[in-house]
A and B are shown apart, each in its own frame.
Chain A
């Protein structure tokens, strides 16, 4: 394992991607301590970027840069909650249930396939519209409930091949329960892969949160990047040419998720010996 991490650490692409992701995370965690209150009416209407307001002001004279800091923090919070919860569901549906052959596996696979083709955003919008108060955690849970299927599918295909290995047979003979075999024997063998899935799920959740926030169904408490985009659209930042209001939140999302995608493909390249020889 240590050699793998060394391999990764030496890779230049990996270093750059990791630096970008960590910088965004740090920006969200540390940033809000150093900026003014994002809801304070500090300047004029739609002031362009200046030394006082790094990214200008919005329609009520509030600091866009401060909003961006808080937005990154809250969006990442939703993303991490949704990502980890979705991973848990995916491991249960794709891992533990798929390990049992026959009916249970087929049933779990069927449910996964149904959730996979459903238009997730439409369902999320209908549910969110029926919920009146939505905290960051509620929205995270909601996103997790509908974003696990593709992870479950990937985990299942891995489990199906690992299931036939000798060490799993050995564990089975020694009388361990199925749950213990999956969590203690099989999952550690695909830890890197599970980690990749978690990264991608987090990125996906950030995008989804911004999407449902954009039409006004995101968290009612907290201030996410999606909320910023919604305000920008609703208050006509586009027509007034206030690019500093709608560009940065989207750019941060693209930078974050795009880098995560490159990061996962780099990790995959380095850790997968088949591709490495290419």
Chain B
């Protein structure tokens, strides 16, 4: 059974680092954006090499917030 996993770290400054695995192609970005409110907070998005693969395999991506918005 395919498992989609998102690990989100929120540090004491309010910065978020999110990592995904088990998504296909760009679905991981969509999932992260849905969860993290892209419109509200500035983010740096760093797709890994796997992100560009169209095959049905595991991809890992990292979204890192620039900083907490207070």
Please determine whether chains A and B interact with each other in the same assembly.
no
Chain A interface residues (CB < 8 Å from chain B):
none
By a beta-carbon cutoff of 8 Å, the part of chain B in contact with chain A is none
